[in-house]
Chain A
Amino acid sequence: MLERSLYLVRRALRNIRQSPVLCGAAIGTVAVTLTILAFFGIVVLNVQKLTSQWSREVQVVAYLDQVPTPAVLESWEKTIANLPQVATVEFVSRTTALERFRQRLGADASLLAGVEPDTLPASLEIGLQPEARNRAGVESVVRQLREGLGLGDLRYGQDWLDRFEAFLDLLRTGFLVLGGFLLFATLFIVANTIKLTLYARKDELEVMTLVGGTPWFIKAPFLLEGAIQGLCGGGLAILGAALIFHGFLQHGLSTLLLAAGIDGISFLQPLQQGLLVGLGVLLGVCGSLLSLRRLVRI
């Protein structure tokens, strides 16, 4: 078994050595297509980061006509905090509200001279769990606040939330369509390049079937070769994506996204880099498999 496995590995390596140009073409194709995919991935990743930061803004504010007693307030806070959709509850007193308003006005804070703290209402600011930062989550919390605690004046930026959800839907659909198209195009290009390399070895495949090679014995070295090509292509794609990222993408995205509120532009995480290389291996194997299915007929 070990000897047979070693034989198949030796054959795969010998195939690569004997056709360096064809093998280089396949590696180059995988590398280029995966670099494009990685480029796309970096943009998606950072836009996702941006939307996740924006979604932190999704919160419910319950304005209180009368400031309740500390005991009632504590009981409300406890009840609200126990709701599964709720992450944080913060009581904002009238004084704090006025202070925040003053800070927001900045240089124009003098306009508030003579304004008493009683002018602004106290409130409860309710932060939501990430999975509840959507219309359904917000409405569920609002309903429970209304029905459970009798809180009437609730604000949660309905219009902004609708626009934010529509934007997220558009992003998701766009990324899915574009990502799916890119993946399909990558598989198509890689499969065709590998098919060309296999056509060059059509005679060898024919002879192997004639001397009694089983389909898997014939295919295994080519699949292994495809995997090696995918591995090298994936590795080169990471390198290419890193060059593009540090060359101009980081600067370009910074200009675009930092202004929109993101705190830093990030490259692919180690796990995502691993997935990209894994995708390269998968593409190499699938590309070989698709081509071999037609070429190896017993």
Chain B
Amino acid sequence: MIQLYNVCKAYQKDSSALADISLKIPKGDFLYITGASGAGKSTLLKLLYAAEKPSRGQILINGQNVTRMGAGRIPYLRRQLGVVFQDFKLIPTRTIFENVAFPLEVQGRRRFEVSKKVYQTLKQVGLEHKLHRRPLELSGGEQQRAAIARALVVDPLVLLADEPTGNLDPEITLEIMELFKGANARGTTVLLATHDREMIRRFPRRVIVLEGGRLVDDRTP
């Protein structure tokens, strides 16, 4: 599903955020990307959703070479991905329904189809009773569930999550992890960047460890 070959990323000449990363992630895998702050976790995810271009190396997602992809094709790649952020990135002026509907509207889906799918997804994350609320009227955990619903509403091939529980209490973290596990069980490949060792211990899956931009460990329990 995802292949990286000797990927490097340098923001400045003399320091590299990622160095010589080679990795294969099969379809339906659940993978933790871990490491200290500044290890390169977020950079790796940004390369995967094409917010950044690698300085060297090749990245393939579902057979498409992201590195050689023109700007015109990037939106179509992103429609196959779901991305979840630590700060949720919900639009505060829009209702939860409108926020979750966004990726489907971007794809030009019909209104009836959008309404049905958004309602189903919000029900899946337990927010069907709050669909007309605005993000700031919800708790942090609820906002993250809404962000996950927005990522899942398009039935993505790959779900990328950058510290999705970083701002949340441990109990809420459990709820969020259940949502990721559910998506993975339905066939979505999940890549989750975190430095929360407790979470990795409680939900053991394949882990890759980054240190100073290098891949230092790749283990499967």
By a beta-carbon cutoff of 8 Å, the part of chain A in contact with chain B is 3-4, 7, 18-19, 203-204, 206-215, 217, 298
Q: Does A298 contact B91, Cβ atoms closer than 8 Å? A: no
Q: Which of B92, B94, B103 contacts A211 (CB 8 A)?
A: B103
Query: What residues on B are CB-neighbors of A204 within 8 Å?
Result: 91, 93-94
Docked complex Cα distance between A235 and B77 (Å) = 43
Chain B proximity of A121: nearest CB distance (Å): 80
Chain A proximity of B42: nearest CB distance (Å): 14
Q: Does B106 contact A212, Cβ atoms closer than 8 Å? A: yes
Q: Does A212 contact B103, Cβ atoms closer than 8 Å? A: yes
Q: Does B108 contact A4, Cβ atoms closer than 8 Å? A: yes
Docked complex Cα distance between A258 and B107 (Å) = 63
Query: What residues on A are CB-neighbors of B108 within 8 Å?
Result: 3-4, 7
Q: Contacts A203-B92, A204-B91; is A210 near B78 (CB within 8 Å)? A: yes
Docked complex Cα distance between A7 and B49 (Å) = 26
What are 21 inter-chain pairs, A to B, with CB distance below 8 A?
A: A3-B110, A3-B111, A4-B108, A7-B105, A7-B108, A18-B93, A19-B93, A203-B89, A204-B91, A208-B102, A208-B106, A209-B75, A210-B49, A211-B79, A211-B106, A211-B150, A211-B154, A212-B75, A217-B75, A217-B106, A298-B75
Q: Does B102 contact A207, Cβ atoms closer than 8 Å? A: yes
Residue from B71, B93, B111 having most chain A Cβ neighbours under 10 A: B93
Which 7 pairs, one residue from A and one from B, show the smallest C-beta to C-beta distance? Answer: A212-B79, A211-B103, A212-B78, A213-B106, A212-B75, A214-B75, A204-B91
Query: What residues on B are CB-neighbors of A211 within 8 Å?
Result: 78-79, 102-103, 106, 150, 154
User: Beta-carbon contacts of B115-143 to A below 8 Å, as 1s and 0s?
Assistant: 00000000000000000000000000000
Q: Does A298 contact B102, Cβ atoms closer than 8 Å? A: no
Chain A proximity of B67: nearest CB distance (Å): 15
Interface residue SS majority, chain A = helix
Q: Contacts A7-B105, A212-B106, A298-B71; is A203 near B91 (CB within 8 Å)? A: yes
Q: Does B71 contact A210, Cβ atoms closer than 8 Å? A: no
Residue from A4, A19, A203 having most chain B Cβ neighbours under 10 A: A203
Q: Does B89 contact A298, Cβ atoms closer than 8 Å? A: no
Q: Does A207 contact B91, Cβ atoms closer than 8 Å? A: yes
Query: What residues on A are CB-neighbors of B75 within 8 Å?
Result: 209, 212-215, 217, 298
Chain B proximity of A264: nearest CB distance (Å): 52
* Closest partner residue, chain B, to A214 (CB atom): B75
Query: What residues on B are CB-neighbors of A212 within 8 Å?
Result: 75-79, 103, 106-107
* Closest partner residue, chain B, to A210 (CB atom): B83
> Does chain A have a CB within 8 A of B74?
yes
Docked complex Cα distance between A211 and B76 (Å) = 9
Docked complex Cα distance between A172 and B147 (Å) = 60
Query: What residues on B are CB-neighbors of A206 within 8 Å?
Result: 89
Residue from B71, B105, B150, B154 having most chain A Cβ neighbours under 10 A: B105
Given contacts A211-B79, A211-B102, A214-B72, 5 further A-B contacts (CB under 8 A): A3-B111, A203-B91, A206-B89, A207-B91, A217-B106
Which parts of B69-97 form the interface with A (CB within 8 Å)? 71-72, 74-79, 83, 89-94
Docked complex Cα distance between A209 and B83 (Å) = 11
Docked complex Cα distance between A215 and B93 (Å) = 21
* Closest partner residue, chain A, to B80 (CB atom): A212
* Closest partner residue, chain B, to A1 (CB atom): B108
* Closest partner residue, chain A, to B104 (CB atom): A211
Docked complex Cα distance between A204 and B89 (Å) = 9
Docked complex Cα distance between A217 and B83 (Å) = 20
Docked complex Cα distance between A18 and B77 (Å) = 31
Docked complex Cα distance between A182 and B78 (Å) = 44
Docked complex Cα distance between A206 and B150 (Å) = 14
